[in-house]
């Protein structure tokens, strides 16, 4: 299995920045320089990341942004539907949820890599279950945990904290 699926982008009417600006305005907040830096870093590429990893990326790009600001902005980006949060053990991992198709994940408990996949059968099951409970489904979380092919082949890899 490939490390990551090249999922096709979904057409969206607003750019992430426009959407975030609308969200901030509706709450009487402003697009500050720090918020913009964080947004641009997040949307520079599609990757799974956590708050500390994002903070490091922002620092490495030469910007001065405090950790609390990164945490606060991540909450805002999640709240306005730009990011989706996943809980992996005691870690919170984020990824794009805007302009990116629905997909699910396999999580390797040894190397801590996340693999993406799409499965129409799962979508059908979700809709069928929701119908049965007269529930309007907006989303779901489905994470298969286990050991990836590389790790189960016994190839020893250094334990990595960052996600790919």
Which residues of this chain interact with Zn ion, rule CB under 5 A? Answer: 95, 108, 110-111, 116, 148, 151
Q: Is 102 in contact with 123 (CB distance < 8 Å)?
A: yes
State the minimum distance, in angstroms, from the CB of residue 122 to Zn ion: 14
Residue whose CB is less far from Zn ion, 63 or 103: 103
State the minimum distance, in angstroms, from the CB of residue 102 to Zn ion: 10
Specify the long-range contacts of residues 140-143, CB closer than 8 Å, at least 24 apart.
Answer: 141/86, 142/104, 142/105, 143/86, 143/88, 143/104, 143/105, 143/106, 143/107
Residue whose CB is less far from Zn ion, 111 or 122: 111
Residue whose CB is less far from Zn ion, 25 or 164: 164
State the minimum distance, in angstroms, from the CB of residue 8 to Zn ion: 14
Residue 11 DSSP symbol: P
């Amino acid at each position: 299995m490939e490390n990551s699926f090249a999922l096709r982008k979904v057409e969206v009417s607003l750019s992430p920045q426009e959407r975030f600006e609308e969200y901030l305005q509706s709450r009487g907040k402003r697009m500050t320089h720090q918020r913009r830096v964080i947004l641009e870093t997040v949307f520079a590429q599609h990757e799974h990341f956590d708050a500390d990893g994002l903070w490091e990326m922002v620092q490495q790009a030469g910007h001065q942004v405090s950790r609390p600001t990164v945490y606060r902005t991540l909450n805002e980006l999640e709240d306005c539907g730009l990011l989706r949060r996943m809980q992996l053990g005691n870690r919170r991992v984020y990824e794009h949820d805007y302009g990116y198709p629905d997909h699910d994940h396999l999580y390797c408990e040894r190397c801590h890599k996340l693999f993406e996949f799409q499965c129409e059968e799962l979508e059908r099951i979700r809709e069928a279950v929701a119908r049965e409970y007269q529930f309007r489904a907006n989303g779901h979380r489905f994470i298969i945990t286990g050991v990836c092919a590389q790790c189960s082949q016994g190839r020893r890899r250094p334990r990595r904290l960052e996600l790919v």
